[in-house]
Amino acid sequence: MKMYLMFGFVLALILMGATGAGAASASFQVATNNFYLAVGDYDYLPYAYELNPRYSPPRIDFVKVMGQYGRWVNVDPFGQCWQPYASAGWRPYAWGHWIYTDYGPYWEGYEPWAWVAYHYGSWVFDVNLGWIWVAGYDWYPSRVIWARGYDTIGWMPMPPDGYDYERGRCVHVGPHNQFTYSDSDFDFDFGAGPFTLGGPYYNAQARDMFYNPAYAAIQVNLWVFIDNKDFDDDNYADHELGPDYSHYIFDQRAVRVTNRPVAMRAMQTITRQPIEMVQVDTHQLKTNRGTVKVVVPAGPTSAERVYRESPQVVRHVIAPAFAKEGRQFKGKSSKIQAPVAKVFKQENVKPKIQKQTREQVINSATQAQKNREQTRAQNMEAARQRTETYKQQGKIVEPGAVAKPGMQQGMQQGKAGEVGRPAARGRPAEQGKAPAKPETAPKPGEQKQNPPPSHGGR
């Protein structure tokens, strides 16, 4: 009898503890009115480093740093990889924008951990887990390859060297792969003339890498495309054309690809948008693996932009994932809260924080995602209609085709690409020499495939 009473007492204590934990996790602190509430201890750390000379950052261990913002999972053959706490539909290189520096195109991301995951290591799309990050300690301005459609520009994260997705998953294929391919006419100015179809479809060595059923099934998850006119916007998350456009533009054989950093002048030519060179400062950061380079945009402009855009990504991407995990932001107890408050000029601002239920946080983010998807569908349809209209008008033509009267100006034969030259990374963009034109093959029969659902953050 005493044994049963003791068991019942212990069980009651356990249930009371579980109920208390459940009640505590049912509420979630969120910032309002653009006040920034720290997620972890390392949010936007280089900006604190840059704008506060007295700030002395701690010795960094990327495993511990990123463990505050996601989970570490074992993924064959890469070993321990990091999976961010991010809402469904999230993908890397979407919440942010491109700036140009002496290192070429530099990704300015708005996630609190962006300073790590977009400038060290590599991103890989896993068919089961979604996007994961393979850690590294060498700094890069970004690690992407570029694509160009008609009036659109796109990019895709690069996996570790030697890997690609041509088999429908990320596997090691050796030195000749999708990420060593480059179209020699990628930056050609078509001007007022017709856009000549080109790209890997018209290259005998590259066609099977980019145009096969396995790659068609996965590529909709890999690319981010936006309209050229939106290139100078501060946040591409609201302008991304989505997986349907990626499927459509590849199906139209209107994609040119380059593995090289696109020079600023070439990007101005392609997007017809003004681009300014941004000065950067270089610092050193002590880590458990030695000292690493950190490159930060100089002056307050970049930090002010991050301050404006960060609340949206924190509320719509980070907070709902934390809520689902039953986790809380570090908030005012964060080691970085005071330095970030100084960077964001809110040292003397009264904290604007409210408590919401986990369901409120998740539902709010879900509705915001639905709104973005509706806007994305409208933008994609507008881009598709524009392309179809230009095709009917003879402004998009096959290589070697004769343009309609009045369209000859600017006409150029579509050039084949080059396979085998590694991408230039972590240094100023290469300019000048164009690669030799390899042999092209005749056009085979077209195969059209329906895309599967897109996978985002999990």
Q: How confident is the model at residue 192 (pLDDT cuts 50, 70, 90)?
A: low
What's the confidence (pLDDT) of residue 429? 37
Name the average pLDDT for the chain. 83
Summarize the confidence of residues 109-120 as an average pLDDT: 97
Task: State how beta strands 195-196 and 396-397 pair.
Answer: parallel
Residue 86 has pLDDT above 80, yes or no: yes
Extract the tokens encoding 273: 């948008």
Give the tens place of pLDDT for each residue, 259-280. Answer: 999 999 999 999 999 999 999 9
What's the confidence (pLDDT) of residue 199? 94
Tokens 């000292």 — which residue? 291
Contact 299, 46 (CB under 8 A): no
Q: How confident is the model at residue 164 (pLDDT cuts 50, 70, 90)?
A: very high
Which range has the worst mean pLDDT, 139-143, 189-193, 294-298, 338-342?
189-193
Q: How confident is the model at residue 28 (pLDDT cuts 50, 70, 90)?
A: confident
Instruction: Report the percentage of the chain scoring pLDDT > 90.
Output: 62
Question: DSSP characters for 306-343?
Answer: HHHHHHHHIIIIIHHHHHHHT----GGG-TTHHHHHHH
Best CA proximity match to 272, nearest among 176, 192, 359: 192
Residue 430 has pLDDT above 60, yes or no: no
